[in-house]
Amino acid sequence: MKHPHVGPGRSCAAGEGRTLRSYKDCGRDDGAQTLDLDCRMAQNGTAEIGATEEKPALPLPRPVTVQEIRHTKMFIDNEWRTSSRGRTFPTFNPATGVKICDVQEADKTLETLDTGKPFLQSFFVDLEGSIKTLRYYAGWADKIHGKSMPIDESFMCITKHEPVGVCGAIIPWNFPLLMFMWKIAPALSCGNTVVIKPAEQTPLTALHVGSLIKEAEFPPGVVNIVPGFGSTAGAAIASHKDIDKVAFTGSTEVGQLITEAAAKSNLKRVTLELGGKNPCIVFADCDLQTAVEEIQKGAFYNQGQCCTAASRVFVEETIYEEFVHRSIENAKKIVIGDPLDPQTSHGPQIDQQQFDKIMDLIESGKKEGARLEYGGGAVGEKSLFIQPTIFSSVKDHMRIASEEIFGPVQCIFSFKSQMEAIQRANSSQYGLVSAVFTASMDRALSVSAALETGTPWRLALFGKSLFYKTGKYLGMYLISLLCINKVYKEMLLDKI
């Protein structure tokens, strides 16, 4: 079995022969059991940490008490510049509704303030993931080589990879720092320059990185950060004739608009990472408790605001009732509260618009006949917190079964046969990730091969498109999208 949530927030999977040990929370043994693996994950105020050798317990990181907001203007040519129109837009703390600052249109405490995600998740996932992304693509910078190929005795072809040019990037609000690095790191390693627009809800960490870029003495103009709204700053990037490529992560609807704008301007290259409605298939022979826990990590991580969220769970009918029961009991353990409190594992939704959308879909689930097993309501009268929510008896035609909720809602279906599970899992318009929980490796491999998703987790490259994605994200395959491949044909004066 493998964690259904891919990328940001995935946890370690148990392996035979690994030793468990405790992690100390600021000197206090909280009994958190972790694997002897080199990865970490924050859960309810503890960190699962592993390594290839024993290391002493370390205190958990703590948020900065007072966070000074210093950068609110556009970052262009290594300078902070005021919007030509003089417009600003407010940025709010989702946990309290308090305005943080005004940002000119165009560190992890800051990430938590900006997004509302729990601090330890910001630290161990977003910050560490960003560092690893930078290191990985730094290693690619001197390894992008062409090839030489003799065609016949008279000619030889030489290929060369050159930068695309100016890369535009439009990133979402759910992982603002990590998405920022996912966009700029591969582009820079290929020799491109970048114009990037952070989401209007979460611009602060991107602007803070701008100050680090200047401190690192990047050449002016290599990285440019333009905060603003999608209809203005985003539209300008998608349609500008001097931008050679645009990459976007967000909704399918906006992705279609960007593709249209790119085609009408200069036919620029387009890379899209869009929505997901990700299936998990749970067979009766699996480790049931592990399946329950791992699927809920995938469903409720970052308050369900992940394109890789495990939102559709297909459970073999012989274990269906027990799976639902255990899921309810497991959800009761989730700690909802102040994102800056290390004990918190569930924070607020990003803003009122997203809150209202999620609550509307929860109501539609109840009206269409799904059974609300747990949660389903707001926490407090005036807040953006939504309880982890579990529906059973969900049918494929319901809105909660077909629409991307982008919130803490888990839908549990039952199935009788393997073929039925595969067909229903593939019935979505999306094709992002999937998970298979079974004790049979043969079944895991065959079902994974049949699932129309780019990342089928078994026990274990973003890829297949449908309405999810065009192109590749991360890894070596992204390099080819950020280079122009040229072929030089040379005549051999001295024949071989």
State how far the Cα of 372 lies from the Cα of 387, in Å rounded to an integer. Answer: 12
State how far the Cα of 53 lies from the Cα of 444, in Å rounded to an integer. Answer: 31
Burial environment of residue 210 by CB neighbours within 10 A (0 to 12, 13 to 18, 19 or more)? buried
CB 426 within 8 A of CB 452: yes
CB 119 within 8 A of CB 108: yes
For residue 478, what are its two tokens? 């992204």
Amino acid identity, position 369: G
316 is catalytic: no
In sequence order, the β-bridge partners of residue 88 are 104
| Residue 53, CA distances (Å) to 21, 37, 38, 56, 277 in order | 12, 9, 9, 10, 38
Which H/E stretch holds residue 266? none
For residue 176, what are its two tokens? 């603002």
State how far the Cα of 405 lies from the Cα of 420, in Å rounded to an integer. Answer: 24
Burial environment of residue 342 by CB neighbours within 10 A (0 to 12, 13 to 18, 19 or more)? buried
Which H/E stretch holds residue 326? helix 320-331
State how far the Cα of 220 lies from the Cα of 238, in Å rounded to an integer. Answer: 22
Question: Nearest CA to 114 among 208, 5, 239, 12?
Answer: 208
Q: Which of 48, 273, 373, 404 is flagged as catalytic?
A: 273
The one-character DSSP state at 61 is P
**Catalytic sites, residue numbers:** 273
